Amino acid sequence: MELNVGLLGGGSWGTTVASLVARNAPITLWARDAEAVREINEQHTNSKYLPDATLPQRLKATNELEQAVRNMDVIIMGIPSQNFRSVLKDIKPYIRPWVPIVSLSKGLELSTGMRMTEVINQELPEHPRGVLTGPNLAREIMSGYAAASVMAMEDQVIVKTLQKLFHSGLFRVYTNHDVIGCELGGVLKNIIAIAAGMGDGQGAGDNTRSAVITRGLAEISRLGVAMGGERQTFSGLTGMGDLVATCTSPQSRNRSVGFELGKGRSIDEIINEMFMVAEGVKSAPAVMDLANKYNVIMPIATEVFEVVQGQSSAKKAFRGLLRAGIGSEAEPG
């Protein structure tokens, strides 16, 4: 039986996932911008977010939320974390019972510190929920480069069906039952990517970046395990894989924010010039709240938090990390 899919969100990653799903099932993408909807339907492009990319003709778009949700068998949420809950509330009158909801977001809700699957559970508790996450740069995938991702869900029957929905020749999708670990890997790596970008912006070398990535992974793993994630998850695609891609690619929004901070620009100036969300900036306060709640030491994340909050500078942050005490590699710090 062919599944009908609704995807909410017309940004770069939402449009890319919609294009991938269109190979396997009918899909309707919802976007607020009527002009973007017209462009997708008539020109099969989304030039604001994916310049030079051609979208499948099978992909349809609408700015009517009901049309993208009613009668759909699967709902995919390509909505930034801080607007995620409000859109869930908006779809309540239209979504059919027991329809699975898949999150694409790699952020935390600032007011609650919740992961997006937790927000889904709170707003629509009867619906199976999961997350698609991994080292996935939208423009590379749209250009036909091979990539791998993870579909994480507690229900191992439903997840195997959804795996087939996303999987294609050059986009390999693996399954995982560790929703907490997979989701947190995608969230926490954004903070470390800002740190890596701050080093690059100050002219730091490959050795420095490697150290930031490796010690950053240690911080991610400590907090992730403390929150209930499984340690091996953080050495896989949604942990180390996503971290490496986000810390090294010029296409990474979070690394780009860090790079500009490293050049001495203010966070407000940088954010005002962006039309896409850098989730690491938004999630940094929530991440630090969680670190304090679970009593986890995260020196890199702490320095990033202080910089994006305007309490410090990238130069001071790196001096702080270099002055930090040393001990066993297995110890925090």
Query: Where residue 157 falls among pLDDT bands split at 50, 70, 90?
Result: very high
Q: What is the CATH number of domain 5-177?
A: 3.40.50.720
Write out pLDDT tens, residues 171-193.
999 999 999 999 999 999 999 99
Residues 1 and 165: their CA atoms lie apart, in Å, by 12
126 membership: H or E segment, kind and range = none
pLDDT band per the 50, 70, 90 thresholds, residue 277: confident
**Counting Cβ atoms within 10 Å, is residue 1 exposed (0-12), middle (13-18) or buried (19+)?**
exposed
Q: What are phi and psi of 86, to 5 degrees?
A: -65, -35
Q: Which CATH number fits domain 191-323: 1.10.1040.10, 3.90.550.60, 2.30.130.10, 2.120.10.30?
A: 1.10.1040.10
> Mind listing the pLDDT tens digit for each residue in 29-58?
999 999 999 999 999 999 999 999 999 999
Q: Where are the domains of the chain?
A: 5-177, 191-323
189 is catalytic: yes
CA dihedral (168, 174, 180, 184) in degrees, to 10, reads -60
Q: Which of 189, 282, 293, 315 is catalytic?
A: 189
Mean pLDDT estimate for the chain: 94
Helix (H) or strand (E) holding 245: helix 242-248
Q: What is the mean pLDDT of residues 73-101?
A: 97
This prediction has a pTM of 0.93
Angle at 87 (CA atoms; ends 247, 164), nearest 5 degrees: 65
Distance CA 37, CA 23 (A): 19
Closest among 168, 141, 186 to 50, alpha carbons compared: 141
